[in-house]
Structure 1
Amino acid sequence: MILVTGGLGFIGLNTARALLDAGETCVLTRHRTARQPDFIRTELGRRVFIEQLDVSDPAALLELGRRYPIDGIVHLAGTAGTGPDLLDDLQTGVDGVLAVLRAAREWQIRRLSLASSLVVYHDVAGVPWREDAALSTAGVYPIEVMKKNAELLGNLAAQHTGVEVVSLRIGAIWGPFGRPDSRFVAVQRMVNAAVRGEPVRYDPPRYAEDALDICYARDCGRAIALAQTADKLNHRVYNVGSGRATRNAEVADAVRAVIPDADIELVAGRDPQGPPADQYLDITRLHEDTGYLPEYDTVRGVRDYVQWLRAGERDPA
């Protein structure tokens, strides 16, 4: 049985679905989010169990191990450092990581996967971004500091507890259960606005030739599930993404291929203030150790997402 913290969140739900598809049973924690899509509801009390708790509360977390035979953890719950008090966010993030590390030690689980982020590479010059790149010890963004800190804590704990701790550097994810007006991933707004029949405008503007490693949510969930359940992993850090840079213009073309009258406004060329090269993740390690390759190209992902939205599903406001 695998514990997924933040299991009713964006990446959590996609990971839970992939784990269920792989035949696993799951305990999903939630703090504020309460949504339960059909694939969760139909398995409640059988293969899926939902617990409301604050993961940063170690006593509450340890109690789960007395009620469920948990042998693996995927830790996705956390803060982005955008709350009203940065120090509170930092405290919650650190407490959450330490709590799952303590639980992993007490339960002697097989593997703990910690969610990291591609933001840890923000000042790495060479592309594609590889897991063995030298990361700066400095930090500009709160989430960057949190994820670097979590990786360091996990690596140190693994050396002293005997628990296998793996950090997953997750790219820019889009698709079902994500925020419709994400400021970070342009495709979320493109698809949601196009489905609503609204024009797609950005402030500040988005440039047609800017590109980033965007990974469809179902692929991301499957990648995490593969990493968590693999018989053997040869590394402690893995990139989770599409393995390629996708231009904003390519995304707009994909949306128009599915919704021909989509009104999308992009500025020609590249952002003069943006990075000089396309940024994307090298996913060789993950492929070699788990067999993972993305199944959704941009058009297939847009088509699937549009169908999901038109079927009555809704992303959080």
Structure 2
Amino acid sequence: MKQLLHRLQLSPGFLLFIVAFAYLDSIKSRVAPGQLVNAYTFTPEAVFVAIFNIFLIVLVLRFSFKHIHGDQFPLNWKRGGLSFLTGLVLWVLLSNVVAFLFSWTFGTIDRNFLPELIISSNLNYILNFIIYGGFYFAYLLFQKYQSHQQELTAYEVAFADSTIQQLKQQLNPHFLFNNLNVLDQLIEEDPKTASRFLHDFADIYRYALDTSDRKLVTLAEEVDFAKNYFRLLSQKFGNGYQLSIALTGGEYQLPPLSLQLLVENAVLHNHARAGFSIAIQVTQTDSILTVVNTKSPYKYKKKGNGKGLDNLKKQFQLLSTQEITIEESEALFTVRLPLIKSKNI
């Protein structure tokens, strides 16, 4: 029973409301002008019949809504209206079939299917569906709205957290002073290289600040940033790490700093040494960006809580119909990012 209620998206609070409404409606029908108010007026037997009918209405409406409209949000009003109308037709047909079977069983077809009774019965079926089906329909929309708002909130939290973590990492004093020291050495040893280093250094800060309030950037922007970032790392690590990028093009987007995060993780968690460099390969296959790096873990694993990759997963879950996939073997670590078509945003 619990599984059925869950599939129908019925909560105890909503059921209690429906039962209370059905009970009050049964009392209302017994206090019409000219009728006596007595103990019978408040007896609840009519509620049990009403609850059975309401449950069937919910089943019929849920069936039509799921097969015509689907569970997507926000509501498509044309499909939503068609779902409701289809459910109404199915309910009226089902009610007439059940009424006919009961009348046939008890031999009362001639008495129960007079023209005026058919009209009043079908009008009653229609009104019941509009009232109780309308309650359920509104309740479904409210649930979808709440779920949508929760997803948006979760995304905003993940996005903000990821952005803050990345900015802290890029702008922390340790990172700043290390690179200024590298720059100071280059100015004395190789002014041309120092100029290029300073340009990349400035681009990193500018990009991090410019994209701090953007949910998505173009693939070209993110790749350019990752290249600038890697050139900075190369000034510190030399040729111990190798980056290759091969793209097939297309108007795609992805969260800012996502490719940079994967490049950085490859450097942070793998030890390049003499005779063994860490290869980082970025390739694109249609709408999938694959980042693969060879593995050479440090003897003593560096501390890291994996929060950056977790936040990136959450962002893609909310921005795309596909999710990040991660594969790890003894020799390789692979992450596949589902690229997002620009027109879908």
Higher CA-based Rg: 2
> What TM-score comes out, normalization by structure 1 length?
0.20
Higher relative contact order (CA 8 A, sep 6+): 1
TM-score relative to the length of structure 2: 0.19
